[in-house]
Chain A
Amino acid sequence: MAFDKMELRDIEVWDGNFAAAQALRQAQVDVVAAYPITPSTPIVEGYAKFLADGYVEGEFVMVESEHAAMSGCIGAAAAGGRVATATSSQGFALMVETLYQASGMRLPIVLNVVNRALAAPLNVNGDHSDMYLGRDSGWIQFDSYSPQEAYDLNFIAFKVSEDHDVRLPAMVHQDGFMTSHTAQGVKTMDDDTAYNFIGDYKPMNDMLDFDHPVTYGVQTEEDWHFEHKARQHNDLMTKVFPKIQTAFDDFEKLTGRKYNIVESYDMDDADVTVLCMGTSVETAREVAKEMRAKGIKAGVVGIRVFRPFPFEQIKEALKGVKAIAVLDRSAPGGTPGAMFNEIAGALYNTDDRALLSGYIYGLGGRDLTKAHLVDLYTELQANVDAGKVTTPLQQFIGVRGPKLAFL
């Protein structure tokens, strides 16, 4: 069997899902084990159609649940080949057990997570609850803000995940519907360029090497479990960022598109900063420019790599900033918010500790409007002027009813 190359225009109009599907095709993924769930379904449908049309060669295993999808991906990855799948929300939650198993076995798998709220109440729209649910799973987590980035970051994810010094699975996140179903111009790579950026899959400890049998998924108790987990954490902390940086640099040389572990916009002289992820970054960037026209030195910081958490890069990006709003798009479940806590932790031992306030927004796909962000920057500037946080530490944006604020 063989497959045909696909002729792409330099710029295609793709939504985030199709961009990711095209990336899986160009990566020539060997096995996709998948289960449908809104809004990520079109990614694996795309792979299936490319297979049906002879534009990719591999096995599409349509399983009976997301748990089985990741289980099949684990078996396939351990066998020794390129593996990817996609999911969202409840499907992601069902996968969680196997996410830990995949990373614990050091298997390179790329999982496209089209972010969606977690029930109850049931909701198909985008927020970051599922992304946050994966944050302790030992995976690398990339966050894209647009279809272009969903496309590009898949290649970065394969390259880093499959690196023999890393051998950790990676998620590529995009916002449900806002990215996954919104068509935009996407600059493409031709098939050869895209594939060669990642290169052939290089097997390591592959079960299918019959002359060198391997044992995956052993039992370890108090005698060895801690060492395994510590080693995995060590590799996440020390090995992943250098590889990501190299991949970003190589990718920029190849395509001219530059990515950073932490993205900074208008941050050179910023007094007030919004820190967020996903599609909100673009909205915040627009508002920051408008605020600057009004004389407020506004900037935006976007998290590009959520795990490992870019502790040092965050400190660097926020150096000299006087007030920061940390935006969490996930029900905080009784804390100020996961990202708020991370940022507070990163900045606590720094000299110029900025005024920090947290905002919960956009749950279940609720819009974050420019007006919300104007108010937010205005509050930050008031904090700067007063020299202290003048608002409650945690506020809810855009929720009906009396203003909701805590702490």
Chain B
Amino acid sequence: MSEIKKIKNLKDFSTSADRFEGANLLCPGCAHSIIVREVLNATNDDLILSASTGCLEVCTAVYPYTSWDASWIHIGFENGSTAVAGAEAMHKALGNKGRLKQPDRNPKFISFAGDGASYDIGFQWISGCFERGHNMMHVVLDNEVYANTGGQRSSSTPIGSSATTSPAGRVSYGEKKNKKDMMAIMAAHGSPYVAQVSPNKWKNMVKAIQHGMEVEGPVFINAVSACTTEWKFAPEDTMALQDLATDSLVFPLYEIIDGTELNITYRPKNVVPVEEYLAAQGRFKHLFKDEYKYLIKEWQERVDAKWDYLQKREEARV
């Protein structure tokens, strides 16, 4: 078994050897690269990585360059999880046959995908990987929109968000459907570990990633990724947005162990009103017109209800 990497402080963490290079084409202010670095830096073990088609993929492996100093594969939009599952199966097969070149290593198999590639087009592939129990981690870079193709709605896009295929307009407030609850769905697969994380809460996130790397079986991580381009905020405000997301409880940080045991992993000292989170983003700008203000109230009620539900689940231990 590998040892869990000891991380003393943020300086120590942020300066440890990178296997994801800063030389990439992601937008300035994109949270994807921060999330990826926090995942990769959580371990010293070898890595077998994949990315589904999306911002991360098109911005980090443009021939003849690569930002990845670890083996990495991209097949298509829907099947990044299965690419890693196939590699994990080969690792197991060659291990059993005594044919691994470095049998003493303890590689981690991790697939990265956006919310579109996870909640929508790649959903079946992820479900298959989790049902079969591959020893892998699937990390969703959840920016609640098809950002790579220019801002179309996904099933992660929340109510009231203006996306190019669910635009706000003269007679519409934008997206009409609530975000799909992937955490619950993946926990229902019997996954040993499911967690929602946010890179601003880096200690919390590293703890979740390290826990996920230690358990046997398929692990699901939903990482909130503020998108400067599609959420419409200034690139220097990414971390402020992540703070608003976690501290307004729009993105509560919690984990579910073995499909049942739910733990809230971060409780903000001062809970910020949802309105502040919405007001910081251009995609919700129209909600502040008089006729749509009721939606902001509904937003707050929905977030409160979810938080209440999570606390009850945590208390009940079921």
Residues of A within 8 A of B (CB): 1, 30-31, 33, 57-59, 61-65, 67-68, 71-81, 83, 97-98, 101, 203, 206-211, 213-220, 224, 228
Smallest CB separation, A232 vs chain B (Å): 14
Do residues A71 and B61 form an inter-chain contact, with CB atoms below 8 A? Answer: no
B interface residues, how many (CB within 8 angstroms) = 48
Do residues A208 and B74 form an inter-chain contact, with CB atoms below 8 A? Answer: no
Name the residue of chain A whose CB is nearest to the CB of B98. A1
Do residues B57 and A219 form an inter-chain contact, with CB atoms below 8 A? Answer: yes
Do residues B86 and A75 form an inter-chain contact, with CB atoms below 8 A? Answer: yes
> How far does the alpha carbon of A244 sit from the alpha carbon of B63 in the complex, in Å?
31
Do residues B66 and A218 form an inter-chain contact, with CB atoms below 8 A? Answer: yes
Partner of A210, one of B64, B73, B107, B125: B107
Most buried by B among A58, A62, A72, A208: A72
> How far does the alpha carbon of A290 sit from the alpha carbon of B96 in the complex, in Å?
56
Do residues B75 and A76 form an inter-chain contact, with CB atoms below 8 A? Answer: no
Most buried by A among B48, B87, B92, B99: B87
Name the residue of chain B whose CB is nearest to the CB of A211. B102
Partner of A68, one of B79, B87, B96: B79
Do residues A67 and B78 form an inter-chain contact, with CB atoms below 8 A? Answer: yes
New contact pairs (5) apart from A64-B128, A76-B90, A207-B87, CB-CB < 8 Å: A67-B125, A74-B86, A75-B86, A207-B48, A220-B63
Smallest CB separation, A171 vs chain B (Å): 19
> How far does the alpha carbon of A62 sit from the alpha carbon of B93 in the complex, in Å?
15
Do residues B91 and A79 form an inter-chain contact, with CB atoms below 8 A? Answer: yes
Given known contacts A59-B93, A210-B105, is B100 in contact with A75 (CB within 8 Å)?
no
Query: Taking the complex as formed, is B89 at the interface, i.e. its CB lies under 8 A from any CB of chain A?
Result: yes
> How far does the alpha carbon of A72 sit from the alpha carbon of B91 in the complex, in Å?
13
Most buried by A among B62, B66, B83: B83
Do residues B94 and A219 form an inter-chain contact, with CB atoms below 8 A? Answer: no
Interface residues of B in 19-50 (CB under 8 A from A): 46, 48, 50
Provide the residues of chain B in CB contact with A80, threshold 8 Å: 90, 94
> How far does the alpha carbon of A228 sit from the alpha carbon of B89 in the complex, in Å?
29
Would you call the interface of chain B mostly helix, strand, loop, or mixed? mixed
Given known contacts A31-B93, A219-B58, is B83 in contact with A71 (CB within 8 Å)?
yes
Residues of B within 8 A of A (CB): 46, 48, 50, 57-58, 61-64, 66, 68-76, 78-79, 82-94, 96-97, 99-102, 105, 107, 124-125, 127-128, 131-132
Provide the residues of chain A in CB contact with B69, threshold 8 Å: 213
> How far does the alpha carbon of A73 sit from the alpha carbon of B127 in the complex, in Å?
17
Smallest CB separation, A75 vs chain B (Å): 3
> How far does the alpha carbon of A233 sit from the alpha carbon of B167 in the complex, in Å?
44
Given known contacts A64-B127, A208-B107, is B48 in contact with A31 (CB within 8 Å)?
no
Smallest CB separation, A42 vs chain B (Å): 22
Do residues B100 and A208 form an inter-chain contact, with CB atoms below 8 A? Answer: yes
Closest 5 CB pairs of A and B: A75-B86, A64-B128, A217-B74, A71-B79, A79-B90
> How far does the alpha carbon of A62 sit from the alpha carbon of B76 in the complex, in Å?
20
Do residues A75 and B101 form an inter-chain contact, with CB atoms below 8 A? Answer: no
Given known contacts A57-B97, A63-B128, A220-B63, is B82 in contact with A213 (CB within 8 Å)?
no
Provide the residues of chain B in CB contact with A218, threshold 8 Å: 61-63, 66, 74
Do residues B82 and A72 form an inter-chain contact, with CB atoms below 8 A? Answer: yes
Do residues A210 and B46 form an inter-chain contact, with CB atoms below 8 A? Answer: yes
Smallest CB separation, A52 vs chain B (Å): 15
Smallest CB separation, B283 vs chain A (Å): 27
Provide the residues of chain A in CB contact with B82, threshold 8 Å: 33, 63, 68, 71-72, 75
Partner of B86, one of A71, A209, A210: A71
Provide the residues of chain A in CB contact with B85, threshold 8 Å: 61, 72, 75
Name the residue of chain A whose CB is nearest to the CB of B73. A216
> How far does the alpha carbon of A1 sit from the alpha carbon of B97 in the complex, in Å?
7
